[in-house]
């Protein structure tokens, strides 16, 4: 068991195949809510359980955390299998998320990553059901039943066809496959997510009103919380889809700035700087590692130019800033790389292995 360490994302509680796993600080809140709300319910179902009812309720919160981690682990492992770089797994108030670099994704790969999470929960529900049949009535049976029901619900709920749910990513992938436009897929799946919120609101409010049912405060609060989460995620997807649709109309070549390469160990005085407006510094394997800073270059005294390597006047860039693409391709992969690696400049490498230039965020 690894020692938990604090980070802006919460506490690191372990790793999976080298991927850090975090427990978000907000999970403490949801665990407390589940314990306080579920404890009295357990007490009513099993009279005389006393404080054990709250222990069972807290155990249910821990089992839900396990379910979330298994769900996200499935996403991470399938993403790794398809060659994506997975950066982290986080379990928090909203359930959890897996952050990975899917810039070179395909509809099939995206769909495989999306469906793996709900399938993992369905498998947990099946295992839980088998144990429920073998355990006699009592607190353990109640805990297992709640665990089984929760995983079955999570699997089914996540398959609903709208972003930000996993079913929404399946819609995204399907539209992307049929139309060839990933932006349109995200846009359609985002609007499906908003439609889900409308259906949820009708089910929670409209149906009871029409049938003379009762509206409880807890029902409205939970529906409002889930609805807000879905609406926010769907709206974010719609904005992303619209932006991607715009960038799908722009080719890499139309915004490319030509660049020249220079090995990082070469002296400043050995380069004819006027030959190119942009210079990239390359490592031993020829891959660009940074961008020459003109201001830093001008500050090198003439007497020191011979013994000053170009690496000393370069701004080192993050790993992943070199994007493999074609000049006639849409600029979307370049934009995703900028967002993923938080860099305002991306080097472009064409299929024959040449790095031909850079794309700057200011040009986009």
pLDDT tens-digit profile, the chain (364 residues): 333 444 556 889 899 988 999 998 888 888 888 888 888 888 877 777 778 888 888 888 888 889 999 999 999 999 999 988 898 999 886 778 898 877 678 999 999 999 999 999 999 999 999 999 998 887 788 889 989 999 999 999 999 999 999 999 999 999 999 999 999 999 999 999 999 999 999 998 888 888 887 777 877 887 888 899 999 999 999 999 999 999 999 999 999 999 999 999 999 999 988 888 899 999 999 999 999 999 999 999 988 888 899 999 999 999 889 999 999 999 988 998 898 888 999 999 999 999 999 999 998 8
Same domain, 11 and 147: yes
Same domain, 197 and 173: yes
- d(CA 250, CA 257) in angstroms, rounded, equals 14
Question: Residues of 230-239 as b/e, b for ≥16 C-beta within 10 angstroms?
Answer: bbebbbebbe
Give the residue numbers spanning the domain of 96.
Answer: 1-159
Q: How many domains does the chain have?
A: 3
β-strands 95-101, 322-324: how paired? unpaired
Give the number of other CB atoms < 10 A from CB of residue 153: 12
Cβ atoms 186, 163 nearer than 8 A: yes
Cβ atoms 183, 241 nearer than 8 A: yes
Q: Which residues pair with 21 in a beta bridge?
A: 14, 89
Same domain, 15 and 98: yes
Predicted local distance difference test score (pLDDT) of residue 2: 37
Predicted local distance difference test score (pLDDT) of residue 57: 86
- What is the distance in angstroms between the CA of the first residue and the CA of the last residue of the chain? 46
Final residue before a domain boundary, out of 126, 159, 192: 159
The torsion of the CA quartet 193, 108, 94, 31, rounded to 10 degrees, works out to 140
Tell me the three state secondary structure of residue 323: strand
Final residue before a domain boundary, out of 232, 249, 266: 249
Same domain, 37 and 90: yes
Whole-Å CA distances, 263 to 135, 177, 268, 277, 285: 68, 41, 11, 17, 10
Same domain, 51 and 150: yes
Predicted local distance difference test score (pLDDT) of residue 1: 34
- d(CA 100, CA 76) in angstroms, rounded, equals 8
Name 236's Cβ contacts closer than 8 Å, sequence gap at least 6. 164, 190
Final residue before a domain boundary, out of 144, 159, 174: 159
Same domain, 185 and 232: yes
Same domain, 130 and 154: yes
Predicted local distance difference test score (pLDDT) of residue 78: 96
Predicted local distance difference test score (pLDDT) of residue 37: 82
Q: And the tokens for 122?
A: 């369905």
Cβ atoms 189, 196 nearer than 8 A: no
Name 261's Cβ contacts closer than 8 Å, sequence gap at least 6. 279, 280, 281, 282, 286, 288, 355
Same domain, 34 and 113: yes
Q: Which residues pair with 258 in a beta bridge?
A: 357
- d(CA 296, CA 319) in angstroms, rounded, equals 22
pTM flag (> 0.85): no
- d(CA 319, CA 71) in angstroms, rounded, equals 28
CATH for 261: 3.10.580.10
Same domain, 269 and 358: yes
Cβ atoms 317, 289 nearer than 8 A: yes
Q: And the tokens for 132?
A: 């429920």
Overall size of the chain counted in residues: 364
Cβ atoms 268, 344 nearer than 8 A: no
CA 220 to the chain's CA centroid: 29
When computed from its CA atoms, the radius of gyration of the chain, rounded to whole angstroms, is 26
> Which residue blocks in the chain are alpha helix, DSSP H?
26-45, 51-81, 107-134, 139-158, 166-179, 182-201, 207-211, 217-247, 252-255, 294-298, 332-341
Predicted local distance difference test score (pLDDT) of residue 177: 96
Same domain, 127 and 17: yes
Give the number of other CB atoms < 10 A from CB of residue 343: 17
Same domain, 259 and 235: no
Cβ atoms 348, 359 nearer than 8 A: yes
Same domain, 203 and 84: no
- d(CA 313, CA 294) in angstroms, rounded, equals 8
């Amino acid at each position: 068991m690894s020692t938990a360490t604090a980070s802006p994302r919460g506490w690191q509680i372990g790793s999976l195949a080298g991927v850090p796993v975090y427990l978000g600080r907000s999970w403490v809140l949801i665990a407390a809510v589940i314990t306080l709300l579920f404890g009295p319910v357990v007490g009513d179902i099993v009279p005389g359980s006393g404080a054990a009812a709250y222990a069972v309720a807290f155990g249910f919160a821990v089992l839900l955390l396990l379910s979330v981690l298994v769900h996200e682990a499935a996403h991470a492992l399938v993403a790794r299998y398809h060659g994506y770089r997975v950066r982290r797994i986080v379990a928090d108030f909203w359930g959890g998320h897996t952050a990975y670099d899917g810039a070179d994704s395909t509809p099939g790969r995206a769909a495989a990553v999306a469906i793996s999470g709900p399938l993992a929960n369905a498998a947990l529900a099946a295992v839980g059901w088998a144990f429920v049949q073998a355990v006699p009535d009592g607190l353990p049976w109640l805990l297992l039943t709640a665990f089984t029901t929760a995983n079955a619900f999570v699997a089914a709920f996540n398959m609903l066809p709208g972003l930000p749910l996993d079913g929404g990513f399946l819609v995204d992938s399907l539209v992307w496959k049929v139309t060839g436009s990933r932006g349109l897929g995200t846009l359609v799946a985002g609007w499906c997510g908003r439609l889900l919120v409308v259906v949820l609101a009708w089910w929670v409010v409209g149906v009871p009103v029409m049938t003379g049912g009762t509206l409880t405060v807890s029902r409205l609060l939970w529906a409002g919380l889930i609805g807000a989460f879905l609406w926010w995620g769907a709206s974010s997807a719609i904005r992303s889809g619209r932006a991607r649709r715009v960038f799908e109309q722009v080719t890499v070549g139309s915004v490319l700035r030509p660049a020249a390469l220079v090995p990082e160990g070469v002296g400043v005085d050995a380069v004819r700087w006027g030959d190119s407006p942009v210079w990239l510094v390359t490592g031993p394997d020829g891959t660009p590692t940074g961008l020459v800073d003109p201001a830093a270059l001008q500050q090198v005294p003439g007497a020191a130019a011979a013994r000053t390597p170009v690496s000393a006047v370069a701004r080192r860039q993050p790993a992943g800033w070199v994007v493999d693409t074609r000049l006639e391709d849409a600029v979307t992969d370049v934009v995703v790389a900028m967002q993923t690696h938080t860099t305002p400049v991306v080097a472009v490498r064409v299929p024959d292995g040449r790095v031909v230039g850079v794309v700057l965020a200011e040009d986009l």
